[in-house]
Amino acid sequence: MNVKQYTIKVFEIMVDDEAGFLAFVEKNEVLLRRHLLLLKGDVSPEIETFLQKKEIAFTKNIPTTSSKKESQGFTKKSGLEILDKMVRSGQEIATQKDLLALKRINSGATIKTEGNLIALSTVEGAIECNGDFMLLKPSKKSYIKFNGADISQEMEADIFYKIYLKQDEIIISPYKGVISWA
C-alpha cells in the first residue's frame, strides 16, 4: 500500500468582497487556524492585519502554477463511470475509474475511487478518493478521505467543495459557482 503523507492543508479562497471575507474568517477562525490560506483576488492591508491578529497563516496571489499542466481533467483515468442509483447503508461502490455519483450517498454507505470523484447529491456516507480531484457536498455525518488524508473536519456541511492535489498539498476550496451542465 502506498500511503502519502500530506502535512500542510491549504485553503484556497477568492477574496472578492472584503466584508464577506472577514465575516467568513471570523466564523471559521478555529478551522482556518489549522491551515495555510491561499488568498486570491484583492487582498487589502486591512485583511492582512486582521489575519495576522488572528494568527492565521496565509500567502497571497501566488501565480497559479500554470493550471493547464496539471492533471485536473475529469476523465483522466481509464474512463468515467456514472452512478445513477442512490447508495444505501451497507453498500460499497469501488472503482478504478472516475466516478460521477448523481444520487444520495447515505449514512453507512462507502464509495472508493482510484480516479476522480464528483458527487452531486448529499453525502452522508464514507468517501475514499485517491484521484487528483473531488467535488462534493459534505454533511455533518460524512467521512471523507482524500489520498489517504482524513479531511472530514476541514469542511462545513452542506456546501460544495473542490478538493484537489497541487504538488504535495491538498487544496480544499469552497465551490461558489452554480453547478450546471449546459
Partner 1 sequence: MGIVFAVISGKGGVGKTTTSANLAIGTAMEGKKTVVVDFDIGQRNLDMILGLENRVVYDITHIMDGEANLSQALIKDKKNENLYFLAASQTKDKSVLERDKVKHLIDDLKENFDYIFLDSPAGIEGGFEHTIHYADNVIVVVNPEVSSIRDADRVIGLVDAKSHKAKAGETVGKFLLINRIDPELIEKNEMIATDDILDILSVTLLGKVPEDKRVIDASNTGKPVILHKESEAGKAYRRISKRLCGEDVPFEDVENAPSKGIMGKIKGLFK
Per CB under 8 A, does 20 bind partner 1?
no
Q: How far is the CB of 40 from partner 1 (least distance, A)?
A: 36
Q: How far is the CB of 119 from partner 1 (least distance, A)?
A: 15
Residue with smaller CB distance to partner 1, 77 or 104: 104
Query: With contacts defined by CB under 8 A, how many residues of the chain interact with partner 1?
Result: 11
The DSSP bridge partners found for residue 178 are none
Q: Is 172 helix (H, G, I), strand (E, B) or coil?
A: strand
Q: How far is the CB of 157 from partner 1 (least distance, A)?
A: 14
- Cell numbers at 28, concatenated: 471559521
Residue with smaller CB distance to partner 1, 72 or 110: 110
For the segment 114-173, give every residue that binds partner 1 (CB under 8 A).
124
- Cell numbers at 66, concatenated: 500554470
Q: Residue 26: CB partners within 8 Å, gap ≥ 6?
A: none
Q: How far is the CB of 109 from partner 1 (least distance, A)?
A: 8
Q: Residue 83: CB partners within 8 Å, gap ≥ 6?
A: 93, 99, 100, 101, 102, 103
Q: How far is the CB of 123 from partner 1 (least distance, A)?
A: 12
Per CB under 8 A, does 89 bind partner 1?
yes
Secondary element (H or E) of residue 2: none
Q: Residue 128: CB partners within 8 Å, gap ≥ 6?
A: 110, 111, 112, 113, 145
Residue with smaller CB distance to partner 1, 95 or 106: 106
- Cell numbers at 69, concatenated: 499542466
DSSP 94: E
The 41-80 contact track toward partner 1, x by CB under 8 A, reads ----------------------------------------
Contacts with partner 1, residue ranges (CB under 8 A): 86, 88-91, 103-104, 106-108, 124
